[in-house]
Amino acid sequence: MPAGDALHAVRATIIVPSFNHAAWVEEAVASALAQTERDVEVVVIDDGSTDDSLVRLARLDDDRLDVVSQPNAGLSTTLDRGLARARGRWVKFLPSDDALHPECIARQLAAADAAPGARLVFALPTVVDAAGAPLSDPAPQAWFDHTPEGRDAILRDLLERNFLCAPAVLFDRDLARLVGGFDPGLRIAQDYDLWLKMLPWAPATFVRERLVRVRWHGANQSGVVTAASEGERARVVRRSLDGFGLERWVDLFRARDDDGASSASAALADALTRSGLHELAPLAARLRALRDDAHQGEGIRRLAGRIGRLLRPAVPLSPGATPPVIETSPRVERWIVVAARATTASRAGALATVLAHDGVSVTLAGSTPIATVPGVTLASCDLATLRTLLGTRDERVRLVVQEPDAAVIAFAREARLAGVRVIYDKAPGVAAFARAGIDSERALIDAADDLVGDRRDTVKQLATARRLVHLLPEPTGVEGAAERSRALRAIAARPTVAVVVSCSRVHEPSEVEACLAGLESARDELPYRIVVVDDGVRDDVLDVLVARDDAGAIQLLRNALRGRVSGRNLALRATASELVVLLDADRRVAGPGWLEPPVAALLEETRLGAVVERGRDGGTGWAWLAPRRLLQHLSGFDEAYDPQGLEDLDLQHRLRSAGYRVAHWQELAVAPIPTRGRSVVDPTALQRASRRFVRRFPDVPLPRDWSRFAEQV
């Protein structure tokens, strides 16, 4: 304990960060003051609330209460200020919309006393709605109801997801300060970051009791998965892998089953894959490659110093190997139909029956016992079982989900990363959601490739995501179910497509909006997701992109490396589509049907590796359409060309060297040449790119448009 705290120490400090929660802040603080453990202090830091929170707090009269008001600074800064003021050895932070059980602090302190050396004590929450009633959607509660045994098990499972409820944690103040406290650069994952910083250095224990009431009211900033939240989560995990040490992480997984280094590396790789964080895929791939490394320790040490640089594609093409492409010949078709709740079991069973009757291999997964269906394999709906159902290279797997569920959403994300086609076939009864249920549905919509409904009101609800929704006939009777099954199979037979738009500092808000609006209005029978890569855009453009991302119209990726080449590679890793289209933000699509001809050409010819739109003088590619896996197995674009071009021409020649043809794509639409006078060009970078290309392809002349551009510079 610091010497300055000795005279006025209390046993525990409860920090209440408050911002515009006037409806609940009194209840939260009152629950903190009502603890049966009286040796506590309550520090409320109001972060610039604009409602009457401070007026309500003034009604509370207790010597143990300290209310501090500050200009709005954000949650991380607020929590760090609370941590600096804390006089108790033990600290808990309680969001101003949650509440504590009267014996919460007493029970957790008793657990700490019973576990000498423990610096973190975890408990369980009860999730309620805005009015304090039990939540109708079970997904949030199921998310938190995970209690691994021991510090090492907690760490291993935390690598996959943050299942710890922040206000249910009591932690050691001095250790929190020692590891750096809350990171002010994090807006959402600050608690996740703190647990991963503290746990490697101290034992932890669990109180398997519900000692906190967490209010799920729809405005919870951690309630919806976004590109920003996933980006923060990736940053936290990478920092933990680097800070704790990759070798020690491998040791954690080896200790679980007493495996050797090879299987422990593979287990760590599996955990990183299950996290669903695309940026960790290169590290996971390299960890798996260590299985065949005769010097495991040496291999892990080599990786340990490179975590920060492992944003590049992980598995280069081995000499003489042929990269995979989208196959036109049919592979074995297998369907997984999931009914997470009893209310949709009969609907899922009917679909599975029809699919089986058509000769398709079907697995029906349900949380309740389902009557045996001829030709259908039955399975449980828990996450561990679902993970065993992922297919092999020889199978084309389709996953049909009927309603949101925490385990199913997690599985859908993992399945999509593994190349499974995910279809959200919304059941009619899944319409009346509480706000938290809506958040769960949004997470499932984001994880799905295709959205399907059989009633117009259902389709209207799904269409709020601003994605194409298929309206199929309601499955009435045997014929209706068969017709609907054929329609679903037709939808799943089309390739999935992601259109990636690169935005940089040279792009104006008007042209970015025009590009995205054109893409949204041009969707037809070949639906696609729109992914936008921020390569250092201006603030006014970022406002446009964030608004569209919040509305569900696009998926926004923030490229920390700042460059079109690295941004495109990031998109190749962060998408799970079969085909990918790469555009710059100043391109325009011609309208509905713009994508059909190049896709048809790509699927008709197995050795066609890409369709590229060239500049007016036959120069470098302005737009690409290619199988995503093919580009990944060629290690993507060469980031040594960043920030100035020729990376596309380089990849074209690597495609040809691998035995693939590159076809010409007719011009998308009339649009300004991307290199008009507004571009900011670094002459040194341009010359470096030219030298690299000439060195790699000495017999290939530079394109005419590039040569003229170089002369102007």
Element (H, E) at 543: helix 539-550
CB 89: neighbour CB atoms within 10 A?
19
- Specify the DSSP element, H or E, that contains 12: strand 12-18
Same domain, 421 and 361: yes
Tens digit of pLDDT for each residue in 450-509? 888 887 777 777 776 667 788 887 777 667 778 888 888 888 888 889 999 999 888 889
Instruction: Give 369's DSSP letter.
Output: -
Q: What integer pLDDT is reported at residue 328 of this predicted model?
A: 41
Q: Is residue 229 part of a domain?
A: no
* Separation between Cα atoms, residue 633 and residue 707, nearest integer Å: 30
Residue 488 lies in a domain: yes
Residue scoring higher pLDDT (673 or 98): 98
Distance CA 490, CA 526 (A): 11
Distance CA 185, CA 77 (A): 9
Residues 287 and 341 in one domain: no
* Residue 175: φ, ψ to 5°: -65, -40
pLDDT of residue 329: 42
Give residue for tokens 């009864």.
429
521-531 pLDDT, tens per residue? 888 767 788 99
| 24 compared with 226, residue with greater pLDDT | 24
Q: What is the DSSP string of 460-484?
A: HHHGGG-S-EEE-----HHHHHHHH
Please give the pLDDT value at position 668. Answer: 65
pLDDT of residue 92: 96
pLDDT for res 107: 94
Select from 467, 493, 519 the last residue of a domain: 493
DSSP state of 92: E
Residue 177 belongs to a domain: yes
Residues 489 and 548 in one domain: no
Instruction: Write down the pLDDT at residue 500.
Output: 94
CATH number of the domain residue 171 falls in: 3.90.550.10
- Residue 389 in domain: yes
Tell me: pLDDT of 44 over 90: yes
Report the percent of the chain where pLDDT is more than 90: 21
- Contact present, 334 and 361 (Cβ < 8 Å): yes
Predicted confidence band of residue 321 (pLDDT cuts 50, 70, 90): very low
Domain boundary residue among 493, 517, 551?
A: 493
527 shares a domain with 674: yes
> Is 231 part of any domain?
no
Model confidence at 317: pLDDT above 50:
no
For residue 644, CA distances in Å to 254, 477, 562, 595, 690 come to: 44, 60, 11, 27, 9
The answer to which of 157-166, 280-289, 586-595 has the lowest mean pLDDT is: 280-289
Tell me the pTM.
Answer: 0.54
pLDDT tops 80 at residue 412: yes
* Range 348-367 average pLDDT: 88
In a domain, 236, yes or no: no
State the pairing for strand pair 120-128/169-172: antiparallel
| Same domain flag for 562 and 701 | yes
Three-state DSSP class for residue 352: helix
Same domain? 474 vs 503: no
Radius of gyration of the chain (CA): 27
- Compute, in degrees rounded to 10, the torsion defined by CA atoms 422, 428, 430, 434: 140
- Domain shared by 167 and 70, yes or no: yes
The percentage of the chain sitting over the pLDDT mark of 70, rounded to a whole number, equals 80
What pLDDT, in 10s, does the model give residues 642-693?
Answer: 766 788 888 888 888 888 888 888 766 544 434 333 445 566 777 777 888 8
DSSP states of 223-279: SS--HHHHHHHHHHHHHHHHHH-HHHHHHHHHHHHT--HHHHHHHHHHHHHHTT-GG
566 vs 154, higher pLDDT? 154
Question: How confident is the model at residue 415, as a pLDDT?
Answer: 82
Which domain does 566 fall in, by range? 497-712
Q: Do residue 482 and residue 502 come from a single domain?
A: no
Residue 599 C-alpha from the chain's centroid: 27
562 is a domain residue: yes
Map 684-702 to HEC letters.
HHHHHHHHHHHHHCCCCCC
What's the confidence (pLDDT) of residue 9?
Answer: 62
Q: Are residues 342 and 366 in the same domain?
A: yes
Q: Do residue 172 and residue 102 come from a single domain?
A: yes
Is 617 a residue whose pLDDT tops 50?
A: no
- 177-222 pLDDT, tens per residue? 888 888 888 888 999 999 999 998 888 999 999 999 998 765 444 5
Q: Name the domain boundary from 443, 468, 493.
A: 493
Specify whether 217 is located in the same domain as 78.
Answer: yes
Q: Give the CATH number of the domain where residue 435 resides.
A: 3.40.50.2000
Buried-state track 681-707, b at ≥16 Cβ within 10 A, e below 16? beeeebeebbebbeeebeeeebbebbe
Same domain, 156 and 168: yes
In a domain, 317, yes or no: no
Cα separations in angstroms, 175 against 195, 563, 596 = 11, 39, 59
How confident is the model over 581-610, as a mean pLDDT? 86
In total, how many domains does the chain have? 4
